Amino acid sequence: MNIDKTFIGLLGMDDNGEFILQQSEDGKIVNITKILDDIFSSSLKPQVYIKITRCGRLLFEEDGLVTINVDEDRVESHYICGNNLDKLLFYETDNMLEISIKKRGKFIKNGNKS
């Protein structure tokens, strides 16, 4: 899994409740939920850096493991460093966002850094 991307576009949700971003430069659809699920399910458990901005305003910036937990609304959500990324994305649907996702060089495997 090689991730070092920045996506700019209109955030929405598809019929499956997944977050998608329609890129402004070429109109391609990027499934943000699928990217997060792939990171979470990776056997290497990579550290990732995620930064989200809207109109130059920082909304989210974390560097750590992607986890999935049930939030206070009983919804399975992606978390990074204890922050509910899915909740933020939910409240930012229909907005133009810049989302940067970068895989870090350090990995966690069976609780040990390698």
79-90 pLDDT per residue, tens: 999 999 999 999
Record the pTM. Answer: 0.84
Tens digits of residue pLDDT in 46-83? 789 999 999 999 999 999 999 999 888 898 999 999 99
pLDDT recorded at residue 106: 54
Give the residue among 65, 40, 72, 37 at the shortest CA–CA distance from 50.
65
In sequence order, the β-bridge partners of residue 48 are 64, 103
> What is the C-alpha separation between 13 and 61, in angstroms, rounded?
21
Cβ within 8 Å of residue 108, ≥6 positions away: 44, 45, 46, 47, 65, 114
Give the start-to-end residue ranges of the domains of the chain.
4-107
Estimate to the nearest angstrom the gap between the alpha carbon of 53 and the chain centroid.
12
> What is the C-alpha separation between 111 and 65, in angstroms, rounded?
12
> What is the C-alpha separation between 51 and 81, in angstroms, rounded?
13
Q: Residue 1: is its pLDDT beyond 60? A: no
